[in-house]
Amino acid sequence: TEAIRVKGLSYSYPDGTPALEDIDLTINEGEKIVIIGPNGAGKTTFFLHLNGTLKSQDDRILIKGKDINDMDNTERIHKVGIVFQDPDDQLFMPTIFDDVAFGPINMGLPEDQVKERVKKALSKVALEGFEERVPHNLSYGQKKRVALAAVLSMEPDILILDEPTANLDPKSRSDFIKVINKLNREGITTMIAMHDVNALPDLADRVYVLNKRIIAEGSPMEIFSDW
C-alpha cells in the first residue's frame, strides 16, 4: 500500500520563484527513499507541504490514500513526522523530557502514557535515561537524536528527515544512520533528503533526483551508473 502519493504538485513562492514543478512520486509503506537534490532543488519546499506550512491544491498529496488537505494537525502529525536539519530549531524546552513529551502532551495523552512514550522514544535513539538533561548541553549528534525522539514520541507512520547526516562527525553519522535503519526495519516508512551521496547505499532502497522537477528515479545503483 502507498504511504505517500504525490500527483502533479507544483509550487511557486509569492514572489514568483518556481520551487516545485509537476512532482509525481509514490512511496510504499516500509520503503526507504532518499531524495537527492542540490541546494535550491525544492526539498524544503516539499517538506513544508507535508507539514502543512504550505498548502497545495486538493488531491495533490495523499497520505495513505487520504488527501492531506482533509487532515487536521493532529491527524497529520500522527501520520507524518518531520525532523528538520537544525535540531536547535526543534528543541526549545528546559529539559529533554519536556521536548520529547511536547507532542504526546499536545495529543492529550495522560501523564503515564506520556512518560512511557518519552522513555520508549529515547531508547530508540540510544539516549535512555537522558530525561532530565538540558538540551543546550548536549553534543550536536545527541541533539539530532533528541530531535528525532521528539518526532518518534508521536509514533508517526512515516518519518521524514532533512539532511540527517549534515554537520555530523563520522562516528555520529554512522550511529545516526544505524538508528534510522533500525526504525525502518521495525516498519516505519522513511524519506530522507540529502545531498551527501556517500551515505546513499546505506539509506535508500530507491532514490529520486529532484531539481524542481523529478529528473531521475531508480535504485542507488541505477542512479549512480548514469550519475
Binding stretches for ligand ADP (CB under 6 A): 13, 15, 17, 19, 37, 39-45, 85
What is the Cα gyration radius of the chain?
17
Query: From the CB of 18, what's the least distance to ligand ADP, in Å?
Result: 7
CB of 52 to ligand ADP, least distance (A): 15
For the CB of residue 44, give the shortest distance to ligand ADP in the complex, in Å. 3
Is residue 130 left, alpha or beta, with left meaning phi > 0 and alpha meaning psi from -120 to 50?
alpha
Instruction: Kindly tell me which of 133 and 195 has the beta carbon lying closer to ligand ADP.
Output: 195
Residue 17: CB minimum distance to ligand ADP, A: 4
CB of 165 to ligand ADP, least distance (A): 14
CA dihedral 173, 175, 177, 183 (to 10 degrees): -150
Q: Kind and range of the H or E element at 161?
A: strand 158-162
Contact between 62 and 29 under an 8 Å Cβ cutoff? The reply is: no
- Decide whether 17 or 73 has the Cβ nearer to ligand ADP: 17
- Pick between residue 43 and residue 145 the one whose CB is nearest to ligand ADP: 43
Q: Are residues 172 and 143 in contact, defined by beta-carbon separation less than 8 angstroms?
A: no
**Contact indicator for 158, 82 with CB cutoff of 8 Å:** no
Residue placing its CB nearer to ligand ADP in the complex, 42 or 156:
42
SS3 20: strand
Judged by beta carbon, residue 44 or residue 51, the one nearer ligand ADP is 44
